[in-house]
Amino acid sequence: DAGVIQSPRHEVTEMGQEVTLRCKPISGHNSLFWYRQTMMRGLELLIYFNNNVPIDDSGMPEDRFSAKMPNASFSTLKIQPSEPRDSAVYFCASALRTEVWDRRQPQHFGDGTRLSIL
């Protein structure tokens, strides 16, 4: 089975440029999560969607960050303009969310996009 697919795996760009990260969740999953991981702060939730609708975007650092999920099989995280402090590994995860705990499926992660802003 295909897992969560993220692209690109690596991105190096100059400060001020627009960056777009892409994610394809596992087929059939109805929740999608974007995380950022750094040595200093660990894994931080940026935003998550349920049935393509943003549920909680309180982790989005500032207006330079935006995320969309136009359909159940695709999501993007965009940074415009990018800054050096945005350098991190960005993960996408998906899950099948149910209300019955014993059928609850935990989150499955992609291998991340390593972003470097020069």
Residue 57 as a binder of another protein (CB under 8 A): the answer is no
Is the CB of 74 or the CB of 109 nearer to another protein?
109
Q: Are 92 and 4 in contact (CB under 8 A)?
A: yes
User: Contact between 12 and another protein (CB under 8 A)?
Assistant: no
Distances in Å between the Cα of 91 and the Cα atoms of 98, 101, 111 are 22, 25, 7
**Is the bond preceding residue 81 a cis peptide, omega within 30 degrees?**
yes
Q: Tokens for 95?
A: 């899950």
The single residue listed with the structure tokens 């415009």 is 80
Minimum Å gap between C-beta 81 and another protein is 27
Site residues (CB under 8 A) for another protein, limited to 67-106: 91, 93, 97, 101-102, 104, 106
Of positions 31, 75, 82, 94, contacts another protein by CB under 8 A: 31
Parallel, antiparallel or unpaired: strands 31-38 and 88-95: antiparallel
Catalog residues that contact another protein under the rule CB under 8 A: 4, 31, 33, 41-43, 45, 48, 50, 55-56, 91, 93, 97, 101-102, 104, 106-112, 114
